[in-house]
Structures are given as C-alpha cells and as structure tokens.
Structure 1
Amino acid sequence: MGEARRKAANLAAEMETTDPKIELGLNAAIVTVREQQPYILVVRPGATGSGAFDALPYGTFSPRAHRTLEIGLREWVKRQTGLELGYVEQLYTFGDRGRHSEPGGAHTLSVGYLALTRGGGEELSGSLWSPWYAYFPWEDWRSGKPEILTREIEPRLKEWAGRTPPPDEPARPLRRAERLRIGFGLDGAWDEEKVLERYELLYEAGLVTEASRDGRPAAEQWSNLPELGRPMEFDHRRILATALGRLRGKLKYRPVVFELLPPEFTLYDLQQTVEAISGTLLHKQNFRRLVEKGGLVEATGNVSTETGGRPARLYRFRREVVLERPAPGLRVKAGRG
C-alpha cells in the first residue's frame, strides 16, 4: 500500500508540473423578453479586462467563499450587474482547450447557467441588455427564412462539406453533408432546438469570428468573410447557443415561459413571448386552443386597454397545472396566424 501511495504521489506531482492549473468559471445567460424581442444581459466590452467583445456575466468559483456553484454565480452576477437573479438552472460544463484559457494561464472549465427574468428595461451598472438574435441572426424565422442563411451561410457550408477533411479530423458517424442537412434543415426540416449544433458546425467550418480568433485552421481557408452574428468573448457564444436551445426545448414540457411574463398578461402577450424565444410565428387560434385546453392559464377577471382595440382579457399562470400533469408545456407548431 505504501508503494502504491508513493507512485500516486509521484504521478500527481509530475502532472502538476506539466499540466496547467484548472480554474472553475461560472457563466450566466440571463434572458428577458420585451417589445416582442428576446434580450440577454452582457457585460460591456472591456469590463472583464479581457477584450473588445461582449461577454456573459461570469466569474470564478471560490470554494471558501461560495458554499455552492449557484451561490457563486448569483454573487458574481450581483457584483457585475447589480441584478438579483430569480429562476436559474445549470446547463452544461464547457472545457475545450483553446476556447477560454489564455496563453500561460489556468485552463478554465466553464459551468454555464440559464437564468430568466422579467422586465429588462432598467439600467444596470457595467452591463446592458443586448438583442439575442444579434448573436444568432439565422435563428429568427418570424419574418421568413433569414436572408443570411441563403446568401452567406448555406453556400459556404456546402463548399466546406465538399472539401476533403484533414487527416487529423476526428471520425464521425455522419459525413459533413449529412450533419449539415440535419443541423440546418437543408431538406426542409428545420429543428429550432438545434441551436448549439448549428453554431458548432459554423465554428468547425471556420465561419465565425471565434474560430479565427482561436486559431482554428479551417478559418484560414476563407477570405472576405462577413461577420456572421456578433462574436463574444471566450466560448460565451457557445454557452449562449446552449441556453437558447435548452430554453426552446423547455417551452414544450415546462411552464418556464411564465418566468418571462408579468403576473397578469393577455394571451397575445403570451403568444408573442413564445414566438420571440422559438423564433417562429404561431397560428393564433391554434395557440389559444392549446393554451386553454392545457389548463396553463386562468382568467383574472381584469382587462387590458393597452392593446389599441377592444379591451383584452387578462390571464395568470395557473400553478395547479404542475401537480396535474407531468409535462405542462406548450407543444406548439410553427404557422402563419
């Protein structure tokens, strides 16, 4: 036993001298919806001391100062933005080498979180609310297929798919062309939840600024490349893509959308909030039947006169539905209303 412990100690000491230190980072994708648009809270460029790109609120986890990861996240967000978080859920841990660590520094494992909040119109210290689709303009289909897909993204991705992969490219069960067809719906089947898959394909093909900044060889093969969405610091756009995909999926089986609405709202407000997050238009009458049949809301007896037409009935979330059904969400389908 003594010899085994000695060998383990020697191995640990050897690894400590050859491997970089590991740092645990906490990142928050904080979402709100106002005026029919989804926004995220970003730290102003330069406020993190790391460059000229937008960044998600983030900081490092301190085991002595923070009892849990979530407590650490809430404290960092409060310190950087002044915002008190409400709904929070953990997304994923991101640890790819080269997408966050700085030369000579610690390697960072980033724990991403999704947070939802109402309002979003207030001024916050050191941060601002930025349109979500500025970072992913190809994800907003409410006015039809985004032109950036047809004009810029699809032709370049098809060209990339037709190239011979480099010898060191990892073997995958699907070829590049097949992954494009699935991720970007080139056969007509667009899946709004595959946000991360689409961003990862753009990164792998070297088409986003982050790939060039991270020194990915694929980025060197392009010239006169336009900026495809607003870039972010480190791997924050990857974390944000994960958050968008998670939120779009959760709309279908959890009543998370009500975290983004005031206590009383019209059915039109509810529909527009779902459309803003999903990036698709919904058929008005079908949506209302789905909401009422699902028992998600109940009338308050009040009306709103802010619609510009006839007074609209006000509703609230019916909390009892979470005890009545295992997955009380909005399984909506895109359509023209």
Structure 2
Amino acid sequence: MRRLLAVTLLLALLVAGVSIDAQRALFTPLNLAEPATITVEPGLPFAQFARRLADNGWMAPATRGALYLRAYARIHAIERKLQAGDYRVVPGMSAVQVLDMIVAGRSVLYELRIIEGWTFRDALDAVRSHPQLRQTLADADPAAVMRAIGRDHQHPEGRLFPDTYRFAGGTTDQAFLRRAADTMDQVLALEWDSRAEGLPYASPAEALVMASIIEKETGAAEERPRIAGVFVRRLLLGMRLQTDPTVIYGLGSTFDGNLRRRDLETDTEYNTYTRAGLPPSPICLPGRASIRAALHPAPGDELFFVSRGDGTHEFSATLDQHQAAVRRYQLKGR
C-alpha cells in the first residue's frame, strides 16, 4: 500500500511539474527584446510552426516548448486553423497569444494601389513587382490571366477596379486580381442599376467603355459629367466621338507621345475619328467617378470641347463656336 501511495504521489508531482513547466512555456512572455515578424506560409504544418517559434529562441525550454504548444493546439482543436500571412510579434506576448493572433488571422496587411487611368498591363506590372504577393501568373499573358480568374469571356481592359487594396503577405497574384475584378463587377452593377434614362448603352459593358474614355479625357472631377454629356449626345445623334485617347490606345506601343494628323486618319478598331460608335473595349481602368458620370451625364446642348491647356476644357454647342475655341487655345498654346 505504501508503495502504491508513493508511486501515486510521484506521478502527481510529475504531472504537476509538467503542468507548471507547460504553463511557464506557453503563457509567460516570449524571449523577445524588440518587435519581430513571423511568417506562416499557406499549408504550413503545425509541428513546423511550433518548432519555428521555439527555434527562434523565443520559447524556453525550446524543445519542450514546441511539444507543449502542439499539445495545446490539439486540446483546443486549432492545429489546422493557422491562417497564412505575416504576423507582428511584440515584446510581452506569450506563445499562446501569438497562436491566438495567427488563428484569428490578425496578420500584417500590405497595400497596393491600382490607379485610375492605368491600363490592365500597368496594373499587372504593379502586381508582378509587389514583393508581398506570391506570383503564380508571372508568365501569363492578359488572356491567360483572365482565364485564371474565371473571366475568359471578357476582354481584360477596364476590368480591374482602381482602389487601394490591403492584403496579407503571401496572397497570390491570382487572388488579388480576382478581388479587383470582383470589385469592378460590383461597382459597375450598382451604378448601372441607378443609371439615368435614355442612355445609348446596350449593356453595362458599353457603359464601362464610355467611362474609360471619360477617365482619359479629363482629370478635373467637375468636368466628367459634362464630358459624358457631350459623348452621349454625339452617340444619340449618330456623330462620331472623335476622341484622341481612343486613337492613342489603338496605336499601342507605336505611339511616341506625339499624335499626328495621319494617326487620326489611320483606321483601327479604336479610331473614333474613322469609326462610329464606341470602341470594342475600354481603353483604361476607370474609377467610380467616371463610371457614375457615364451613367449620369450632365444635361445640355454641348457637342464639342477642346483643351485649354491647363487641365480643363472649353465646351461648345456649335461647330463655329468650337472652331473658334480651337483657334484660341491651340494658337495660344503654340
């Protein structure tokens, strides 16, 4: 009997010692003098994560600390709940607090801004050069990229919404691009549902084309609805849009920064001087303001506008007024 009691007491002391040791390893502050970052890759096994936390020298004792952390995760059924990303660990945090942060996905977020007026290729270049995005489409052309994000039926131009996006480190380029495309779909659908009556668009896609032209024609916010009004009236009257940005887009890499008369006279599917109606696709990534302007054009009788050379435009209702404005501002510019 005494022997049994002794063994029982010894086991109890051992369990108590292990419990105290585990509590110390899991709940005392990590051995960390300054903030640090720990990375959790997609699919990282929990055992490897625990060893990484211990091997950093943050847990003491390291080997037992990793075992305790694995046991804790198993007891609480969170072994498979690690969320990928970069996580900021600060002095004073315990191993359990770090684990809770990772399971909750409170990772460091990075930013990438897609700019209004960029082309699809501009946005793709920015995505490919961001060091915190995991590249899976590095060799894909725009058509292949669209297939990868589930949009093989769409022309890529104009289909990413310009905005500042925040994301966890290790996010794939595919996931980022799909998110930007989904956002454009949502914004376009919302604006389309509240559109003005009598517009010359057969679909939201055509409104997106118009929005992209407005985006490239002016950077002055107050002018967007007015420019939209000019273009909408021209379409309704059967007039050609005659807008330089579409011609430039159609020239592609051959455009040297100087738009010449022969360029305006050279027919391409994007030349709105030689062809009636809208071009076959957007010419850039339009922002929400340009989309809204395309769907809510300003009323009036203006059919022409010319640049004043200061970022704004002179609007005219008649050809004579327009030609006078062209002479005034173009000669002034020269």
Using structure 2 for the length normalisation, give the TM-score: 0.23
**Quick check: which one's strand share is greater?**
1
So what's the TM-score if we normalise by structure 1? 0.23
Higher RCO (Cα < 8 Å, 6 or more apart)? 1
Q: Which has the larger radius of gyration?
A: 2
